[in-house]
A and B are shown apart, each in its own frame.
Chain A
Amino acid sequence: MKGFRSRLRRALSKIGGTFGYIWHRGEGRFALIVLGIWLLVCIVAAFWTPESLDTSDGYNTWASPSPAHPLGTDGTGRDMLSWLMAGSGTELQIVVATCMLAALIGIVFISFTLARSALASEIAVVVTDTLLSIPIVLIALILAVPLGASLTVIIIACGVSYGLNLARIAKPQAVLAANSRYVEAARAAGSSRGRAFFRHVLPNVIPVMSVQLSICAGTAILAEAGLTYLGIGVPAGTASWGASLSASASFISIFPLTVVWPGALITIVVVALNLFGDSLRRAVDPVVNSQLRAAAEEVERGSGK
């Protein structure tokens, strides 16, 4: 128990250090602020929005921004700000679920590529290489036939696609770690293959994976907007940024201002997620981060290699 607690503390301080590093650069700070506001709005919108989502102001459809409706209203007189706030929660659900699924699939495929059996690793490589050329929207269309328009369609289609990509990107790192001296030592000391994988190989892959996942999060938001517009994403009546964007899209020529808000919001958040990914890479990737590189060289020298 005590060992677990100290390990947890070490992990937390490491994560804290990484965030500190990100915060110290302008780009990273921008990303953290935008993402922080997003989380805050999600929490607030879960309990309160300026207008109830069901209220529609029938006399004020397509209204321009006003004190009553800070971002105006849409075609049925619903308050744009309230719907965007409520949508941030949906968006967070999609992003978190997609990233978790992608990470899971990525880890499973990486463990397959490292498997002892040549057949298993062969299958993993074949599946990743061929399925990668199938577009997300096609997977979503196939899934939409039995499932209809739902969050599940977006999450599975994106999660599978990003997971396979993740496996392919993280593979070199994983192979390097699996063939390292410390894994050999751990195996010689009697730890099982599985234990060696989780204790030694996986921690090596996590930095690469988290960078990639933050970029996946951005593309998942973009995919949500696209799939929802095509009618196979978020179902009608559920608030999401893509749904708000699609709803205003058909009347673009008459009410151009309404369409600005959801689109700008999506762009800002996706940029923030990409910048976060870039900063994270800088913080955890020894090839880019000179401090980490120096530390790694220190260790190399210390081990008398």
Chain B
Amino acid sequence: MLKFVVRRLALFCVALIVLSLLVFACLRILPGNVAAVMAGTNSTPERIAALSEQLGLNRSYPAQYFQWIGDLLHGNLGTSVLTGRSTMAETWQRAQVTLPLIVLGLLLSLVIGIPLGVVASSHREGGLHSVLRYVSLTAGAVPALWGGLLLILVFGRGVGLIGIFPSQGFPEDGWSSPASALVSLALPALSVGIISGAQMMRYTQSALDGIAESGYITMAMASGSTRARAIRTTGLRIVLPDLISVTGLSFAQMITGVLVIENLFSLPGLASMLVTDVGNRDLIKVQSELMLLAAFFLLIGLLTDIAHRVADPRMRGVGAESVAPAQEVSA
């Protein structure tokens, strides 16, 4: 176990370094130099020179790279050239909207997906099975934007048929009034959760179907439990490691939908910050933000792999190579 963790940590570090190089390179292969792009098309040569002096862009690439990495390691993500605000502070403030949204969406998707997956797997023939199959197939194929719009049309306050949830914005004072903050996240989290839940249901069902013919379920049934009960107790425990891996990956896969939904509901989260900064070509800020987010997702991947390992006692004696379940992709 320890060997596995150490090896996985080493991988994590290597991946971080490779990613930082990638992000750095992508921001340097722009036509023209970074300072000229940031200063805008109408700027004078003196302004460009001053800006590149200020940002240290007139130094060699390796020098710039190591300066940037050194700053990152000291927790210094720089300040935005356009607004003068600290990148770290702004990212943290924005993440307070995005992270709860992701977590709520993920919880909803588990609450929706796993029970329905169990039901679908317990009823392998007949009407209920096909109804669930088509529902999950359709719900998983809905673009996040459209799903959010439909929910607004049904539940949005002021516009919807049953207007009970606000469809725009987030309380000014953030989480200091938790109730209204939660309510304003209800529809966004539901949009993300239903779509992701449909996929979670398909994973759960196919994982459970995969072990249905195995000796585990037969053994449990021989010990006196019904088929449904055997799947609920024994089956779920056996596929738990796979479900953990899938949940970890959904975390990364949901994020496109989350960013779209944030924009749709005008939530002041990471989406609007990233899109605005990429649009404004506030490049030094974008560089740090993207790196921070990438590191965050790598960390989630690391934690998922370790949790998978802990949840699967069969893996304890096995060598260090990673085992992950075969997995379908999603946007």
Contact = CB atoms under 8 A, between A and B. Distances in A.
Contacts of A229: 145, 260, 263-264
Interface string B295-312: 001101100110000000
B15 A168 contact: no
A218 B141 contact: yes
A146 B27 contact: yes
B146 A129 contact: no
Contact of A129 (B23, B150, B156, B324): B324
A263 B146 contact: yes
Contact of B327 (A143, A145, A165, A256): A165
Q: What's the dominant secondary structure at chain B's contact region?
A: helix
A262 B30 CA distance: 34
Interface in A119-151: 125-126, 129-138, 141-146
A135 B252 contact: yes
A249 B264 contact: yes
A86 interface: no
A271 B141 contact: yes
Interface in A252-305: 252-253, 256, 259, 262-263, 266-267, 270-271, 274-275
B149 A169 contact: no
Interface string A228-245: 011110000000001001
Given A134-B294, A252-B152, A263-B143, A141 B278 contact: yes
Given A126-B11, A138-B294, A145-B286, A215 B329 contact: yes
B67 interface: no
B14 A126 contact: yes
Q: Which of the four size classes fits the interface of chain B?
A: 35 or more
B128 interface: no
Interface of A: 125-126, 129-138, 141-146, 161-162, 165, 168-169, 172, 212, 215-216, 218-220, 222-223, 225-227, 229-232, 242, 245-246, 249, 252-253, 256, 259, 262-263, 266-267, 270-271, 274-275
Interface of B: 11-12, 14-15, 19, 22-23, 26-27, 29-30, 137-138, 140-146, 149-150, 152-153, 156, 158-159, 248-249, 252-253, 255-257, 259-260, 263-264, 271, 274-275, 278-279, 281, 283, 286, 290, 293-294, 297-298, 300-301, 304-305, 321-322, 324, 326-331
